[in-house]
Chain A
Amino acid sequence: MRSAHPGEDALDTILQLVLNGLAVGCIYGLVALGFVLIYKATELVNFAQGDLLMLGAFTCYMFVVWYGVGYWVALALAVALVALFGAVLDATILRRVIGQPQFSVVMLTIGLGAIFRSFASIAWGSEIYTLPTPFSARATRVAGVAVSHEYVSIIVGTVALCAVLYAFFTFTRVGLAMQAASQNQLAAYYMGIPVKLMFSLIWAISAGVAAIAGVLLAPVSLIDINLGFIGLKAFAAAVLGGFGSIPGALVGGVTIGLIELFSGAYLPQGFKDVAAYVVLLVVLAVRPQGMFGAIVRKKV
């Protein structure tokens, strides 16, 4: 540690907070992305999104630690399984509540989340686990700042995932079909788009993204059955971004991540956990449509 200049230490701390805030924010952003994708397509708000993240982390842990599968293979398996699970969830349960009052959807998905947590504690136990990864406990010093590989892996993983999703939704036939089905179901049918299948695929993508977020998060936050409560902060991030805007979800996530880390460092103890919600309240009071949302005014 070079501590000859006290000013440099402060700068180091700030850079460190920015890096960690970005990383945590990426996780919030990915979960928020799942909220938004499902909401845009089906107008359902899936409060079990965070618990899908938890399932992803546990599944990966199970493959790595119980069965000795390599990290990358385990990651792929976890994402594929949770994505499949998301699609099945849509096809068997959630499709039936489309068009029901928002309240019943909220109750249903909160209930599903509780079931997933119980399932996890039965299947994997309610202890706290550590997922060994190729990035665990390694750091590189860049310009005096200790850059932990775990945090970098989250940021790199998020950026890469967003690039792939962007290309998928913009260039591929099935990606465009999903966008079309989200915008107007009836019209999509008559363009030859199997709308129900598209919705199941959107659930699969949202669940898969949550699983990736879970696996990325696992090395920095330990794995336990309550890992999914991160979904609440991600929900705040989605609202902050304007619920319905995909870039908004990511920016909202990163904003909340940064605010949380900085308020943890510079504000009185305990503020860290509520900072996200304070910001959310302020945004809702000042700009209710969120940062990226558009106001829809009814023309009379």
Chain B
Amino acid sequence: MSLLAADGLVMDFGGLRAVDGVSFEIEPAEVFTIIGPNGAGKTTIFNLVSRIYEPTAGRLIFDGEDITRVPPHEIARRGIARTFQNIELFEHATVLQNLLLGRHAHKRSRFVEELLFLPRVRELELEHREAVERVIDFLDLQPHRDSLVVNLAYGVRKVVEMARALCTRPRLLLLDEPSSGLSVEETEDMAFWIQDIRTILGVTVLMVEHDMSLVSSVSDRVLAVNYGRPIALGTAREVQEHPDVIKAYLGG
């Protein structure tokens, strides 16, 4: 069974139809990438899946459950995490604090216990801290653990945001243009992280991406969209060589 299925997604902004009947299925532990020229509707699809937008029509099924009307703060608990193209971190908090917030959806302690910091709260906090430390080790963030996000380089923030998403223990990770703003070397590193997330952690990845070298090196399947409609689906190579895709990018 597919982990995420989009069925006939339609999204209208006033008179503009940004997404026009998009369907796809993402299998567990695959890297699925959506590409397309600017304004093709990639980010809209992404925002539909991450529940920022209410679709005009269509359904979203995650792990057998209909999530079409689930509010965005509910999806973390269900196992979906996302990053943002322009990075949305808690800038005046440390990396560690950001990552610990990633554990928020899984906290089980009670209010009064917390206010008094009872032993049970301490125990649970230690568990969360260990989970966070595993992610820090996984993404080599040790040197930045106690830095304020606002003082970090852009490329590091990008990794921190991905780390925070991993701290929510997702089954599906949504990456919004993971390479945007990164140097060539940083983009190569990003490709390794994404591969590790898939193969070592077994997390399914849905990604929107422009950089074709990154797309080719990590994607199992690629969906190309243009004018809100799917135009090609297959391996990175198949899609890149598809005549409609070439036409969409080069015009004519």
Contacts and interface: CB of A to CB of B under 8 A. Distances in A.
A in complex with B: yes
Interface string B113-144: 01101000000000000000000000000000
A21 to B, nearest CB: 32
A180 to B, nearest CB: 5
Q: What is the size category of the interface that chain A forms with chain B?
A: 20 to 34
B74 interface: yes
Contacts of A176: 101, 104
A172 B104 contact: no
A186 B84 contact: yes
Given A177-B104, A184-B91, A191 B76 contact: yes
Given A176-B104, A180-B90, A184-B90, A190 B72 contact: yes
Contact of A192 (B84, B105, B111, B114): B105
Contact of B88 (A187, A192, A193): A187
B17 interface: no
A183 interface: yes
Contact of A191 (B105, B109, B115): B105
B246 interface: no
B77 A187 contact: no
B115 A171 contact: yes
Contact of A168 (B74, B77, B115): B115
A186 B176 CA distance: 14
Nearest to A175: B114
A189 B73 contact: yes
Interface in A186-205: 186-195
Given A186-B84, A187-B89, A173 B111 contact: yes
Contacts of A194: 71, 73
A189 B174 CA distance: 14
Interface residues of B, number: 30
B73 A192 contact: yes
Given A186-B84, A186-B88, A191 B111 contact: no
Contacts, number: 66
Main secondary structure of the interface of A (DSSP, over half): helix
Contacts of B102: 191
Nearest to B109: A173
A180 B111 contact: no
A192 B74 contact: yes
A183 B92 contact: yes
Nearest to B78: A192
Interface string B39-50: 000000000001
B69 interface: no
A171 B113 CA distance: 10
B123 to A, nearest CB: 15
Which residue of B72, B73, B77, B89 has the most chain A CB atoms within 10 A of its CB atom? Answer: B73
A168 B71 CA distance: 26
A174 interface: yes
A292 to B, nearest CB: 14
Interface of B: 50, 71-77, 81-82, 84, 88-93, 101-102, 104-105, 107, 109, 111, 114-115, 117, 164-165, 168
Interface of A: 167-168, 171-174, 176-177, 180, 183-184, 186-195
26 contacts: A167-B115, A171-B117, A172-B114, A172-B115, A173-B109, A173-B111, A173-B114, A174-B111, A177-B104, A180-B90, A180-B101, A187-B84, A187-B88, A187-B89, A187-B164, A188-B73, A189-B73, A190-B75, A190-B82, A190-B165, A190-B168, A191-B104, A191-B168, A192-B77, A193-B73, A195-B73
- Of all A-B residue pairs in the complex, the 9 with the closest CB atoms, nearest first, are A192-B105, A192-B76, A187-B88, A189-B72, A172-B114, A183-B90, A191-B104, A194-B73, A186-B88
